[in-house]
Amino acid sequence: MSPSSLSLHSHSVFTPRTGLTVHRRPLLPSQSLVFCSAKPAVSSASNLSVSDPSTIDAAARIGSLSQVSGVLGCQWGDEGKGKLVDILAQHFDIVARCQGGANAGHTIYNAEGKKFALHLVPSGILNEDTLCVIGNGVVVHLPGLFKEIDGLESSGISCKGRILISDRAHLLFDFHQQVDGLREAELAKSFIGTTKRGIGPCYSSKVIRHGIRVGDLRHMDSFPMKLDDLLLDAASRFKEFNYSLDMLKKEVEKYKRYAERLEPYIADTVYVMNEAISQKKNILVEGGQATMLDIDFGTYPFVTSSSPSAGGICTGLGISPRVIGDLIGVVKAYTTRVGSGPCPTELFGQEADLLRSAGHEYGTTTGRPRRCGWLDIVALRYSCQINGFSSLNLTKLDVLSDLAEIKLGVSYKHVDGTPIKTFPSDLSVLEQVQVEYESLPGWKSDISGIRNYSDLPKAARNYVERIEELVGVPIHYIGVGPGRDALIFK
């Protein structure tokens, strides 16, 4: 898609039903960018009735979000970001991924309750008027991407003209996944616990300036030499990696076919994003993974290989920090993480099993059982400081419904009892911290059918409000189930 072929047209309408100004939605053909008319601000998919006062509050809450907003994870991933993105996408023109790759697993449900597990395609894809952008900061595994697209298309979700992929994004090859597994095996007991999707090796190729980008598929004359260099490098590093010229030939032939299929999706997304911003289009950024897995700010080295915190938005999409407005942090009502690394509030035995079972805590990407524990306020406060969240989405509050007592990890101490004022970077300290807990009464009742905050049991409201008090950020969205409508606006 050439910049000269992009044309952005837009206007707004005032809807008497809600009293909100609604920006028209985009629907993009593969060779031109034209924003078309759309649905009203409040979608029927959310099952909200306009006659209900809480509906107007919900519409106003979403309508008040800034032109460029973001949804980021606060913990170690798996917080339920995809669901909020799916809901908010009905009110945004563009949903964009800025970092990570197929190691992100976002589970969403359509209006009929059908489940979709997305890894590369942004979670706005279920909303037919939303353009989905995969930015330059994402690493793209084409076989996986095409599998996702085929699955969506077979379920009646049109992807044609609705997905743009940055020509600057790096390609993740099958051999990157093989190298990921070899690297983990080499680390033995100190393994990272990656998804083995090749994310780290692909970012390594990028950082040492040895990677292959999406735009390189347009130059198949030089592509074989670049791929040969990458494969030779892997073979020289790992003796178990078997490389041959026949392997190279097969890969090149495969990517010739991929290049032809991918061409309609490729765009200069930096141009697309900045043109959309200048013409007042509404953009929602969808983060993958989460702050505690950030390559700089997370529990290094047990982290991902990208920046899932706020800074990754600018570097992963090519947009200015000045245009970024509201950032919503998504936090689970308790703590989970997969893979290795410290998890200060982790529970073990029966307590952990109860949370894991009630919350269905198994990885979307790997199926691995997640480690579970009480909500870590220290980590959450640290995440809020780094990202400057304007509000939080507390998810899976319903999972705590059967507990008579709930705990919050409110502070850390050294083994000698001296207080720790921040989230430690030193893992030897973090692995030995003594967590001070605050106990709150549970509510022992099913809340999955509640849609108004005032209808929650008092103990549930106390829990929500105590979290707000401890971290200093308001909770505006509360998840009480997996469905699209299982969301309370506060």
User: 254 and 382: one domain?
Assistant: no
What average pLDDT does range 97-107 have in this prediction? 88
Beta bridge partners of residue 478, listed in sequence order:
394, 488
For the chain, what is the mean pLDDT?
87
| Of 23, 86, 91, 106, catalytic | 106
Is a pLDDT exceeding 80 seen at residue 279?
Answer: yes
Classify residue 415: in a domain, yes or no.
yes
Convert the pLDDT of each residue in 422-468 to its tens digit: 999 999 999 999 999 999 999 999 999 999 999 999 999 999 999 99
- Among residues 212, 228, 263, the one where a domain terminates is 263
User: What is the per-residue pLDDT for 27?
Assistant: 34
- Among residues 209, 232, 263, the one where a domain terminates is 263
Count the Cβ atoms, other than its own, within 10 Å of residue 4.
Answer: 6
Classify residue 249: in a domain, yes or no.
yes
- Which one is predicted more confidently, 34 or 243? 243
| Annotated binding-site members for IMP | 78-81, 103-106, 195, 209, 289, 304, 368
CATH number at residue 475: 3.90.170.10
Count the Cβ atoms, other than its own, within 10 Å of residue 399.
Answer: 24
User: 248 and 337: one domain?
Assistant: no
| Of 78, 86, 326, 376, catalytic | 78
CA atoms within 13 A on the CB side of 313: 29
Classify residue 13: in a domain, yes or no.
no
| Annotated binding-site members for substrate | 364-370
User: 259 and 334: one domain?
Assistant: no
Percent composition of the chain: helix, strand, coil (DSSP 3-state, to 5):
35, 20, 45
What average pLDDT does range 5-23 have in this prediction? 36
Distance of CA 168 to the CA centre of its chain: 20
Measure the CA–CA gap between 207 and 204, rounded to whole angstroms: 5
| Of 141, 206, 407, 490, catalytic | 206
Classify residue 434: in a domain, yes or no.
yes
| Annotated binding-site members | 77-83, 103-107, 195, 209, 289, 304, 364-370, 396-398, 479-481
User: 248 and 361: one domain?
Assistant: no
Classify residue 58: in a domain, yes or no.
no
User: What is the per-residue pLDDT for 181?
Assistant: 79
User: 380 and 472: one domain?
Assistant: yes
CATH number at residue 238: 1.10.300.10
| Annotated binding-site members for GTP | 77-83, 105-107, 370, 396-398, 479-481
Convert the pLDDT of each residue in 137-178 to its tens digit: 999 999 999 999 999 999 999 999 999 999 999 999 999 998
Measure the CA–CA gap between 347 and 392, rounded to whole angstroms: 24
- The distance between the two most distant Cα atoms of the chain, rounded to a whole number of Å, is 68
Percent of the chain topping pLDDT 90: 73
Classify residue 241: in a domain, yes or no.
yes
- Which one is predicted more confidently, 46 or 204? 204
Confidence of residue 29 (pLDDT cuts 50, 70, 90): very low
What average pLDDT does range 290-317 have in this prediction? 96
User: What is the per-residue pLDDT for 18?
Assistant: 30
Is a pLDDT exceeding 70 seen at residue 386?
Answer: yes
- Among residues 233, 248, 263, the one where a domain terminates is 263
Confidence of residue 190 (pLDDT cuts 50, 70, 90): low
User: 249 and 367: one domain?
Assistant: no
Measure the CA–CA gap between 324 and 309, rounded to whole angstroms: 13
User: 340 and 470: one domain?
Assistant: yes
What average pLDDT does range 259-288 have in this prediction? 97
Confidence of residue 188 (pLDDT cuts 50, 70, 90): low
User: 244 and 393: one domain?
Assistant: no
Classify residue 366: in a domain, yes or no.
yes
Convert the pLDDT of each residue in 44-96 to its tens digit: 333 333 334 444 477 888 989 999 999 999 999 999 999 999 999 989 999 99
What average pLDDT does range 469-481 have in this prediction? 97
| The two structure tokens encoding residue 105 | 């697993």
Classify residue 32: in a domain, yes or no.
no
Q: Is 106 a catalytic residue?
A: yes
Asked if residue 142 lies in contact with residue 173, where contact means CB atoms within 8 angstroms, the answer is no
Number of domains in the chain: 2
Is a pLDDT exceeding 70 seen at residue 394?
Answer: yes
User: What is the per-residue pLDDT for 54?
Assistant: 46
User: 366 and 466: one domain?
Assistant: yes
| The two structure tokens encoding residue 299 | 């529990």
User: 477 and 399: one domain?
Assistant: yes
Q: Is 413 a catalytic residue?
A: no
Range of the domain at 437: 330-489
User: 234 and 339: one domain?
Assistant: no
User: 342 and 485: one domain?
Assistant: yes
- Which one is predicted more confidently, 306 or 21? 306
| The two structure tokens encoding residue 155 | 């379920």
Count the Cβ atoms, other than its own, within 10 Å of residue 379.
Answer: 25
